[in-house]
Amino acid sequence: MTRVLSVTSECVPLVKTGGLADVAGALPGALAPLGVEMRTLLPGYPAVMGAISGGETHDLGKVFGAPARLVTGLLGETRLYALDAPHLFDRSGGPYLGPNGRDWPDNPVRYAALSLVAARIATEGVGDWVPDVLHCHDWQAGIAPLYARESGAKAASVLTIHNVAFQGLAPAAMRETLRLPESGYTSEGFEYWGQISALKAGMLWSDAITTVSPTYAAELLTPEFGMGLDGVLRARANVLTGILNGIDLEAWSPPYKSPRGKARHTAALRQEFDLPESDGPLCVVISRLTEQKGLDMLLDALPALLDQGGQLALLGSGDARLEAAFRQAALRHAGVAVRIGYDEALSKRMIAGGDAILVPSRFEPCGLTQLYGLRYGTLPVVAMTGGLADTVINASPAGLDAGCATGLQVLPITTAALAGALTKLCALWRDRTVWQTMMKNAMAQPVGWDRSAAAYRDLYEALTGPR
């Protein structure tokens, strides 16, 4: 049995802002049948403490200036550790942003505390449980491998990069506050353009680095996608691996067994969004509204869809300008309906009722919505980047002739190419035989955790030896 401590700032169903939470929530259960005991360390946000209060506690003394405890509990069958440090985590707002929508100014200290306690567990254990592997997710746990190395921990360390755009930067003057060694503040260490980078520290002090798709792993080695850290990753390319995310097949299970069952859900979705009947595909978007997600391009490409009878139902929030622009599009076009916000139950109804799901991201480390689309036979139209490129089989002439296509890929990632893909989507939708074949192909794709969990198990064993 390999023991792994997963260190994360998010975990479903307790706290979520993105795909990191889904991965952190799914991995322990996916790994358990493979002989891996994964326990999860989370910050003691109010939602976390409310879920596991009453568990066993361990006094940690002062952590960055005030008393803290480690509280244990269960989430389903997963053992959780919560860092109960009220001075750092007992506050309203999101995990990273205050009620004013801005980063908490002490975020570097908050997540350094999470990393410091992770390193302490890796060194001393909790009771008689000592991890063999310290698995750190994103910059919020990025300093943990360095702290663990400094404390003499024997556990191997893995850093998973979910999105390199978020690097956990802190002013250089905080080095002593964060208890970082002076020797590490160099261009070959955790220094990044005159600041401290928690993510860079994780890249350099971990024994292995993973990211969430093979294509994104290759993209990270380039200046276009590496966000200034491509050189660091090229130097460590021998320990970098891309392992695709999966989805929870029970949580995301379509309410029909075959493509024929979708029709009534499509009709129900049109009614819910007050969309008229149409002779084109009903496309859905469920996304943060940002330029990274390519939604400005979608606005410009919309005529290619609407002019052929296609429709759009959108659920999301984010950039105020994009929110306003999509609202205006809904006012101008009867075939466009918009809901600002997020509602998981509604998102499932949209994926069940949509004919296609649009994911035109300029970059996308893995992406989960296209996997949900495949699972539900809601054909993905995706930019050819990151995990989108790895999970969707393009309806190219070869893909259609071979009978294996599951969606459409957009390349280059431009408005014109997206418009062309939407035009092609409408043509494919009108050929019901081809469309039904593509839906069946999509629903047959393996999108769960089986293969990915095995890849993580193999990585842990390569670092520690079989148990």
Q: What is the pLDDT of residues 82-102, one digit of tens each?
A: 999 999 999 988 899 998 889
Domain coverage including residue 278: 259-444
- Residues 240-267: tens digit of each pLDDT: 999 999 999 999 999 999 999 999 999 9
Q: Report the pLDDT value the prediction gives residue 77, as an integer from 0 to 100.
A: 86
Closest CA to 388 of 352, 362, 414: 362
118 and 226 in a single domain? The answer is yes
- Residues 168-208: tens digit of each pLDDT: 999 999 999 999 999 999 999 999 999 999 999 999 999 99
176 and 99 in a single domain? The answer is yes
CATH code: domain of residue 223: 3.40.50.2000
454 and 424 in a single domain? The answer is no
SS (H, E, C) the chain: CEEEEEECCCECCCECCCHHHHHHHHHHHHHHHHCEEEEEEEECCHHHHHHHCCCCEEEEEEECCEEEEEEEEEECCEEEEEEECHHHHCCCCCCCECCCCCECCCHHHHHHHHHHHHHHHHHHCECCECCCEEEEECHHHCCHHHHHHHHCCCCEEEEEECCCCCCCEEEHHHCCCCCCCHHHCCCCCCEECCEEEHHHHHHHHCCEEEECCHHHHHHCCCHHHHCCCHHHHHHCHHHEEECCCCCCCCCCCCCCCCHHHHHHHHHHHHHHCCCCCCCCCEEEEEEEECCCCCHHHHHHHHHHHHCCCCEEEEEEEECHHHHHHHHHHHHHCCCEEEEECCCHHHHHHHHHHCCEEEECCCCCCCCCHHHHHHHHCCEEEEECCHHHHHHCCECCHHHHHHCCCCEEEECCCCHHHHHHHHHHHHHHHHCHHHHHHHHHHHHHCCCCCHHHHHHHHHHHHHHHCCC
Judge contact between 261 and 376, C-beta under 8 A: no
Residue range 57-78: average pLDDT?
A: 94
Say whether pLDDT at 467 is over 50: no
Q: Report the pLDDT value the prediction gives residue 53, as an integer from 0 to 100.
A: 65
Q: Report the pLDDT value the prediction gives residue 55, as an integer from 0 to 100.
A: 77
- Residues 271-289: tens digit of each pLDDT: 999 999 999 999 999 999 9
456 and 428 in a single domain? The answer is no
Quick check: is 422 in a domain? yes
Instruction: Look up residue 419 and give its two tokens.
Output: 């418009």
Say whether pLDDT at 371 is over 60: yes
Site of tokens 């009614």: 271
Site of tokens 């024929």: 260
Quick check: is 368 in a domain? yes
Better-predicted residue by pLDDT, 230 or 53? 230
276 and 208 in a single domain? The answer is no
39 and 176 in a single domain? The answer is yes
275 and 182 in a single domain? The answer is no
Report the domain count for the chain: 2
Judge contact between 376 and 284, C-beta under 8 A: no
pTM of the model as a whole: 0.94
C-alpha to C-alpha distance for 29 and 248, rounded to whole angstroms:
10
pLDDT category at 54 given cuts 50, 70, 90 is low
296 and 329 in a single domain? The answer is yes
Quick check: is 26 in a domain? yes
Q: Report the pLDDT value the prediction gives residue 101, as an integer from 0 to 100.
A: 84
% of the chain beyond a pLDDT of 70: 99
Sheet arrangement for strand 169-171: 169-171, 195-197, 191-192
- Residues 311-362: tens digit of each pLDDT: 999 999 999 999 999 999 999 999 999 999 989 899 999 999 999 999 999 9
Contacts of 15 (CB under 8 A, 6+ apart): 9, 21, 42, 45, 47, 48, 95
Better-predicted residue by pLDDT, 427 or 76? 427
C-alpha to C-alpha distance for 338 and 318, rounded to whole angstroms:
13
Residue range 221-232: average pLDDT?
A: 97
**CA geometry: angle at 226 spanning 382 and 104, to 5°?**
95
16 known member of a binding site: yes
33 and 125 in a single domain? The answer is yes
435 and 458 in a single domain? The answer is no
Quick check: is 252 in a domain? no
Quick check: is 219 in a domain? yes
Q: Report the pLDDT value the prediction gives residue 387, as an integer from 0 to 100.
A: 98
Average pLDDT, the chain: 96
C-alpha to C-alpha distance for 361 and 38, rounded to whole angstroms:
32
Quick check: is 253 in a domain? no
Residue range 292-298: average pLDDT?
A: 97
Q: Report the pLDDT value the prediction gives residue 229, as an integer from 0 to 100.
A: 98
Closest CA to 366 of 347, 345, 344, 391: 391
- Residues 145-163: tens digit of each pLDDT: 999 999 999 999 999 999 9
330 and 455 in a single domain? The answer is no
User: What are the distances in angstroms from CA 203 to CA 115, 151, 386, 421?
Assistant: 14, 18, 19, 37
Closest CA to 338 of 313, 360, 361, 356: 313
Quick check: is 8 in a domain? yes
Q: Report the pLDDT value the prediction gives residue 466, as an integer from 0 to 100.
A: 56
Say whether pLDDT at 391 is over 70: yes
307 and 391 in a single domain? The answer is yes
Quick check: is 195 in a domain? yes
Q: Report the pLDDT value the prediction gives residue 284, as an integer from 0 to 100.
A: 98
Residue type, 446: P
Closest CA to 297 of 342, 366, 361, 250: 361
Closest CA to 95 of 142, 44, 28, 49: 44
Q: Report the pLDDT value the prediction gives residue 281, as an integer from 0 to 100.
A: 98
